[in-house]
Structure 1
């Protein structure tokens, strides 16, 4: 297994763990936060979804920098 393949595998595993773990835990967290403030629960949900975009953007940026000569 090449180093790039191993790196991609590790990144995919981390992303899947983050995605599936978060979607499993997020509803109870939002319900608990909703007892304090519905806006806080909404902000946490938006931050979680936004984290995906940031994660993929950072990964693409890292790969572009690594491939330049």
Structure 2
């Protein structure tokens, strides 16, 4: 694969972030725990690559869903995620008073949950897109 400007920026950015996290981990145990938690989450996300593709599911009624119902579903998903994210900082700060590592873990899980929900929704839509065309 021929490197382009985006891959170069991604690689340089990754190297800078890794260097900053390594230096921060050396200076503070809390940052080291946070980096370890992020690495563990990253490994879990990487493992998702090996899941099988979703199966195409035929609709029983044969009719494609209306675009209004899909819009409504997307709006509900976004509203729920936004509402839950308003609570996360309070929970993380409250847990951080007792254990900074636990606060970092809960914050990392909450942030990854957003992407997990959106990823699962895209897999669901991909499995049903053959019915809509």
TM-score norm. by structure 1 comes to 0.77
Partner of 1:10: 73
Partner of 2:14: none
Please identify which structure carries the higher helix content: 1
In structure 1, runs of 5+ residues without a counterpart are none
TM-score norm. by structure 2 comes to 0.44
- Report how far residue 44 of structure 1 moved: 0.9
Determine the C-alpha separation between the residues in 1 that align with 2:118 and 2:103: 24
Question: C-alpha deviations, 1:1-32, integer Å up to 9, x for none?
Answer: x534213312322322222x223211221121
Q: Number of residues paired by the alignment?
A: 67
- 1:51-66 equivalences under 5 Å are 51-66=113-128
CA RMSD of aligned residues (A): 1.8
Query: Which segments of structure 1 move beyond 4 Å, counting only runs of 4 or more?
Result: none
Query: Which of 1 and 2 has greater Rg?
Result: 2
More relative contact order, 1 or 2 (CA 8 Å, 6+ apart): 2
